[in-house]
Amino acid sequence: MIDPKNNAIFVKDLTVAYHEKPVIWDLDFFAEKGTLLGIIGPNGSGKTTLLKSILGIIKPTTGSIKIFGQPYNRKLHNIAYVPQKSSVDWSFPTDVFDVVLMGRYGHLSLFGRPTAKDREIAQQALEMVNMDQFATRHISQLSGGQQQRVFLARALAQQADIFILDEPFAGIDIVTEQIILKLLQQLRSQGKTIIVVHHDITTVKKYFDWTFLMNIKHIALGPTQTVLTPENIALTFCAPNLFNDDVNDSI
């Protein structure tokens, strides 16, 4: 039996419903510490809903979620989240550096202000994604790939133990893709746990240690070379949906 304490994330019997219609059904999932794990599934399969349930943004109908063996307390700030780029309001009046500095807010006291150390960490995060030269630029003036790098820098500034990225490679340039892949490998080498929703099976095969295949329910989970088989891919993408698939997975 799998011990939740030995995993960074442990999800058991998870069901989530919108308007009484399940979008995740009796799902089991876990992520071992220090692994780079890809989540694969068709549109509307519940991938984003799973992430938001782990983050405490969505309350499950049934089931349990443990982070390092404990119920997730959002005040602990041990998870850094990079949402889908399409879900972000890029017209918000702020510049690149201030967006990255937001990653430090969870480390501040109730009425505290960012310290020189916080600003140094934010600056280093920008340098890691090659965006330090855009620090004073308004985020709306950036390309899609540059915007994604800024949000990754914000996650890096948080200095979390778990990184969750929802479709980070969607609509970006090849330079940004390579920067992100390199950073994810570096984070894994530091013992971080990284979970990425992704659709490119070739990239997952090449870079990801573990893969989780889902379509409302659990299809397969394990080492990528073991579970990413033609049979499991067919079950994931070709099997009929259990419920009417009219719920947007980005909700």
What does DSSP assign to residue 138? B
Q: How many CB atoms lie within 10 A of CB 232?
A: 18
Sort 132 into a burial class: Cβ within 10 Å, 0-12 / 13-18 / 19+: middle
DSSP 8-state assignment for residue 83: -
* Residue range 7-48, pLDDT digits in tens: 999 999 999 998 878 899 999 999 999 999 999 999 999 999
Query: What torsion do the CA atoms of 52, 54, 56, 61 make, to the nearest 10 degrees?
Result: 90
Least confident of 83-87, 189-193, 203-207, 224-228: 83-87
Residue bearing the bigger pLDDT, 227 or 22: 227
- Tell me how far apart the alpha carbons of residues 58 and 55 are, in angstroms, rounded to a whole number: 8
Pick from 86-90, 173-177, 214-218: least confident: 86-90
pLDDT tens by residue, 132-146 = 999 999 999 999 999
- The answer to whether the beta carbons of residues 152 and 82 sit under 8 Å apart is yes
CB 103 within 8 A of CB 154: yes
Tell me the whole-structure pTM to 2 decimals: 0.90
CATH number attached to the domain at 1-78+196-251: 3.40.50.300
Coil, strand, or helix at residue 110? coil
Residue 244: band (very low, low, confident or very high) from pLDDT cuts 50, 70, 90 = very low
3-class SS of residue 140: helix
- Residue spans per domain, the chain: 1-78+196-251
Q: Which residue has better confidence, 86 or 127?
A: 127
Is residue 11 within 8 A of residue 56, CB to CB? The reply is no
Other CB atoms within a 10 A radius of the CB of residue 191 amount to 11
Beta bridge partners of 66: 10, 71
- Percent of the chain at pLDDT above 70? 91
Quick: pLDDT tens for 112-125.
789 999 999 999 99
